[in-house]
């Protein structure tokens, strides 16, 4: 049983096909009922998530990714302060930054990017490829959550995880035509 | 159509959550602004996604339109489906639980906009370094305010969780009523925070009011223009964000129509398609497209209503209306002040509802004569929201038409951008000041462009200056020198 409190936040829109990978992973992890692991789902991240994250030692943000070269990647996150023009939603790095700046937290953050394949339509359900990638990501993160061991994690494609800075973490760049 | 020998300034505020937008400013040969347009790439097709689905699923499905205020779509669709099942006369418990949900949503949405998006403009000024003119900057210099914003948003989300069943994909409102009441324990959990939330609401209103009054001369013209205003009002003329009749007034306060049954909205509102925009331009049918555009949202609501039925917000409304001697206020930046009047009103309503024993009632559903077509209309935080459906004998939706708040404000936002461009663009260089002011003007309307996908793309605000042949003359992005 992990000694630290851990939260996994799966976010995305299940009404936009593979954009729902984050909530789908959250639902699977919740069913595992892992001790010491809290699970939440969201369409998108917002300021109040900073308060939630601040109460935990470790946060894992799970989201659909279009830049993954394997089924998933897992990277450590640095707190950030970059904001878009008028977006109502925040990146995982900014949520982590607010948790640190506003609430004095020292939460460690990670992103789990799960490869998505179909985004540009309204519709429920994941693509068959995304289902496969989701299963691989679930196996990976479930094991990490059980062991409470994140820092040494590497992704399936062999890329180093912990040293990747936040600004290189760009998930789910859906193109809309 | 682009005229010959013109230069175009392109501003691209692109985020995934709010659609894909850019501003194009077209100059004439003399270097003056010939045209300013806000382009919004709205993701179309949601209406088709709904078609074929059973009507009772729709109030849940439509929440996927918007990640920031799904409750608005949830309730607008539920109101339409109330009529489909003949249950539009809700039980007292059902109506009050829904209203609590709606006020909770208003509270969290307005708090988010004020503390997260607007307060940096107000606290640091339009010309402040973009690196600090954001919520991170607020966190650094006004930590207490930033924490208040987070906690107010969290409180509103808790109200939604309790009334809708969960924070996202809520199922609380069902055709003809609600599927749960509010327990004593849930009520008491919320009541514990009411006094603090009221105090913070008063503080936020004071910041918005003081700022506007102090900078009134500067703001009076900033992105401003005269317009019609539209909103729901209660039968007695009071502000009512959940139900009522449609009222439209001119910029001078003359009534264009009043207490219109929104089932007949198509007799009063039309939508114009313009070839350069994916988003339609609604207008008041009797005035035509040129003169019939209107504003919606907090400013429009405070302008159209006769009074507010909660004492502190009513006192604030009177103070606000005194600035324009009781006439409608047409200052774009006054949206912020009115948004905070509504924030306080929502909190007063939440307090009152939490003390109402009907929330614990058990009569949750109403039913009556089945219908095949219905309109659900609600005042969303950003303005009037229309949901229109037809349903067949097999209970499947066969037609859906939605006019979202930001679409209603499409023309006003274009006019605000044009006004800023007229006043602040000079020469062939794009200044940081122009970039900032275009941002501020659009942000006053709190656009949420309903693309229904969460945001990860963080593309900056960008201006490209092009010559008539499309060659780049100058470019500027948010945060660059």
A142 found inside a domain = yes
Residue pLDDT, tens place only, A98-122:
899 889 999 999 999 999 888 766 6
Domain spans of chain B, in order of start = 7-41+418-477, 46-407
Place of tokens 């950003």: B382
Number of domains in chain A: 1
Cβ–Cβ of A88/B68 closer than 8 Å?
A: yes
- B12: confidence class by pLDDT, cuts 50, 70, 90: very low
A173 found inside a domain = no
A1 found inside a domain = no
Whether B474 contacts B431, CB under 8 Å: no
Residue pLDDT, tens place only, B291-315:
999 999 999 999 999 999 999 999 9
Question: Using only C-alpha atoms, what is the Rg of chain A?
Answer: 15
DSSP per-residue codes, B311-328: HHHHHHHHHHHHTTTTSP
Place of tokens 């506003």: A102
CATH number of B46-407: 1.10.645.10
Whether A22 contacts A11, CB under 8 Å: yes
pLDDT computed for residue B460 by the predictor: 37
Which of the pair, A140 or B470, is modelled with greater confidence?
A140
Domain extent for A21: 6-168
Mean pLDDT, chain B, integer: 86
Which of the pair, A12 or B176, is modelled with greater confidence?
B176
Q: Residue B393: CB partners within 8 Å, gap ≥ 6?
A: none
B342 Cβ under 8 Å from any chain A Cβ: no
Q: What residues in B contact A82, CB-CB < 8 Å? A: 458
Beta strand pairing status for B281-284 and B462-466? Answer: unpaired
A92 found inside a domain = yes
Cβ–Cβ of A101/B461 closer than 8 Å?
A: no
**Any idea what the CATH number is for the domain that residue A122 is in?**
3.40.50.1450
- A162: confidence class by pLDDT, cuts 50, 70, 90: very low
A176 found inside a domain = no
Evaluate if residue B481 carries a pLDDT over 50. no
Q: What residues in A contact B452, CB-CB < 8 Å? A: 13, 15-16, 122
A134 found inside a domain = yes
Instruction: Give the global pTM.
Output: 0.87
B61 Cβ under 8 Å from any chain A Cβ: yes
Q: What share of chain B is helix, strand, coil (3-state, %, to 5)?
A: 45, 20, 35
Q: Residue B54: CB partners within 8 Å, gap ≥ 6?
A: B395, B396, B397
Cβ–Cβ of B15/A12 closer than 8 Å?
A: no
Nearest CA in chain B to A121: B45
Which of the pair, B96 or B278, is modelled with greater confidence?
B96
A71 found inside a domain = yes
Residue ranges in B165-297 assigned as alpha helix (H): 184-191, 194-214, 216-221, 288-291
A111 found inside a domain = yes
């Amino acid at each position: 049983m992990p000694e630290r409190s851990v939260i996994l936040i799966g976010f995305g829109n299940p009404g936009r096909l593979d954009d729902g990978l984050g909530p789908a992973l959250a639902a699977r992890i919740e069913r595992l009922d892992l001790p010491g692991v809290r699970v939440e789902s969201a369409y998108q991240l917002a300021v109040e998530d900073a308060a939630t994250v601040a109460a935990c030692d470790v946060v894992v943000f799970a989201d659909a990714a279009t830049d993954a070269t394997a089924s998933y990647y897992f990277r450590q996150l640095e707190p950030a302060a970059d904001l878009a023009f008028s977006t109502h939603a925040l990146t995982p790095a900014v949520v982590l930054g607010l948790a640190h700046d506003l609430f004095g937290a020292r939460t460690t953050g990670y992103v789990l990017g799960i490869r998505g394949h179909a985004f540009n339509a309204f519709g429920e359900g994941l693509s068959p490829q995304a289902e496969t990638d989701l299963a691989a990501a679930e196996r990976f993160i479930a094991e990490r959550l059980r062991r409470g061991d994140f820092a040494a994690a590497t992704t399936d494609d062999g890329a180093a995880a912990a040293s990747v800075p936040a600004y290189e973490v760009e998930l789910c760049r859906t193109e809309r035509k | 159509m682009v005229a010959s020998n013109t230069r175009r300034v392109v501003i691209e505020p692109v985020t995934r959550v709010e659609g894909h937008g850019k501003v194009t400013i077209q100059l004439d040969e003399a270097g003056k602004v010939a045209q300013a347009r806000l382009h919004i790439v709205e993701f179309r097709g949601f209406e088709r996604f709904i078609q074929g689905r059973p009507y009772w699923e729709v109030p849940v499905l439509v929440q996927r339109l918007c990640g920031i205020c799904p409750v608005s779509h949830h309730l607008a669709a539920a109101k339409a489906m109330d009529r489909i099942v003949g249950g539009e006369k809700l039980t007292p418990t059902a109506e009050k639980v829904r209203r609590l949900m709606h006020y909770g949503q208003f509270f969290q949405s307005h708090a988010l906009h004020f503390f997260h998006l607007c307060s940096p403009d107000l606290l640091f000024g339009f010309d402040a370094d973009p690196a600090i003119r954001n919520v991170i900057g607020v966190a650094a210099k006004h930590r207490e305010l930033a924490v208040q914003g987070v906690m107010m948003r969290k409180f509103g989300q808790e109200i939604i969780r309790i009334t809708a069943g969960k924070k996202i994909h809520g199922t609380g409102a069902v055709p003809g009523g609600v599927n749960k009441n509010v327990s004593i324990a849930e009520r008491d959990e919320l009541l514990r925070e009411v006094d603090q939330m009221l105090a913070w609401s008063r503080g936020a209103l004071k910041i918005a009011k003081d700022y506007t009054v102090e900078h009134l001369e500067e703001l009076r013209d900033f992105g401003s223009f005269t317009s019609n205003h539209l909103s729901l009002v209660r039968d007695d003329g009071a502000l009512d964000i959940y139900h009522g009749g449609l009222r439209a007034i001119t910029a001078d306060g003359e009534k264009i129509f009043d207490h219109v049954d929104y089932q007949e909205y198509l007799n009063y509102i039309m939508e114009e398609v313009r070839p350069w925009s994916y988003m339609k331009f609604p207008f008041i049918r009797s005035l035509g497209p040129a003169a019939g555009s209107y504003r919606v949202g907090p400013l429009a609501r405070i302008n159209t209503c006769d009074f507010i039925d909660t004492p502190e917000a009513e006192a604030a409304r009177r103070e606000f209306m005194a600035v324009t001697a009781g006439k409608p206020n047409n200052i774009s930046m006054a949206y912020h002040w009115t948004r905070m009047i509504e924030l306080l009103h929502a909190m007063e309503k939440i307090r009152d509802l939490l003390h109402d024993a009907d929330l614990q009632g058990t009569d949750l559903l109403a039913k009556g004569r089945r219908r095949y077509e219905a309109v659900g209309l609600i005042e969303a935080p950003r303005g009037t929201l229309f949901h229109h459906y037809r349903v067949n004998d097999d209970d499947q939706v066969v037609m859906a038409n939605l006019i979202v708040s930001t679409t209603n404000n499409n023309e006003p936002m274009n006019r605000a951008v044009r006004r800023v461009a007229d006043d602040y663009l000079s020469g062939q260089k794009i200044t940081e000041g122009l970039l900032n002011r275009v941002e501020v003007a659009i942000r006053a309307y709190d656009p949420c462009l309903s693309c229904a996908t969460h945001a990860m793309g963080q593309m900056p605000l960008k201006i490209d200056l092009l010559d008539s042949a499309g060659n780049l003359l100058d470019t500027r992005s948010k945060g660059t020198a």
